[in-house]
Structure 1
Amino acid sequence: MAKSKRGRAIWNLPSHGRGTCPVCKATRIKLLYTRTASDGKSVKVCKRCSAAPVSRLDEATAEIKAVESPKPVMSR
């Protein structure tokens, strides 16, 4: 018989667990693996990047920080 419960947990996630991997920039890929960078920030990555070295995770978290914290706008 078919296994009807397989993959059921990701149905409750936004976009069914899919997105853009911050490490390899692959789009519309399942982000199911949580990795922790050296600064302690956890990032969801794809299956291919789940075995990536910590240095690549650090680069990805640095890019995420740069995007999340916009530069202050100088007002006159």
Structure 2
Amino acid sequence: MATTTRGKVLRSIEGRTRGQCPVCERTGIKLLYELTNKEGETMQVCKYCRPKKELKKRK
């Protein structure tokens, strides 16, 4: 995991990015990735629900 997604940086964010993922309904998980739905709204999701297109761009 990159150092920007752990440690001091997360402590400064409200709720420390922990919560319930709106896609898979997991609780107490880090919500670090943005997902845009069909209506154009962005929401924070966990790493298991992050967009697959984003992963292909990195490789």
**Superposition pairs of residues 34-73 of structure 1, within 5 angstroms:** 34-51=34-51
Give, in angstroms, the shift of residue 15 of structure 1: 2.2
SS state at 1:49 partner: coil
Q: Tell me, yes or no, if structure 1 residue 29 matches structure 2 residue 29.
A: yes
**Segments of 4+ in structure 1 off by > 4 A?**
none
User: What residue number does 1:20 align with?
Assistant: 20
Distance 1:51 1:34 in 2: 8
Give, in angstroms, the shift of residue 51 of structure 1: 3.2
Structure 1 spans left out of the alignment, 5+ residues:
53-76
| Cα deviation digits, residues 22-55 of structure 1 (max 9, x gap) | 0000000000001111110001000000036xxx
Identity %: 42
Higher helix share: 1
SS state at 2:9 partner: helix
Q: What CA RMSD, in Å, does the superposition of the two structures yield over aligned residues? A: 1.9
TM-score normalised according to structure 1 size? 0.55
Distance 1:7 1:41 in 2: 28
In the alignment, residue 18 of structure 1 is paired with which amino acid? R
TM-score normalised according to structure 2 size? 0.70
Higher strand share: 2
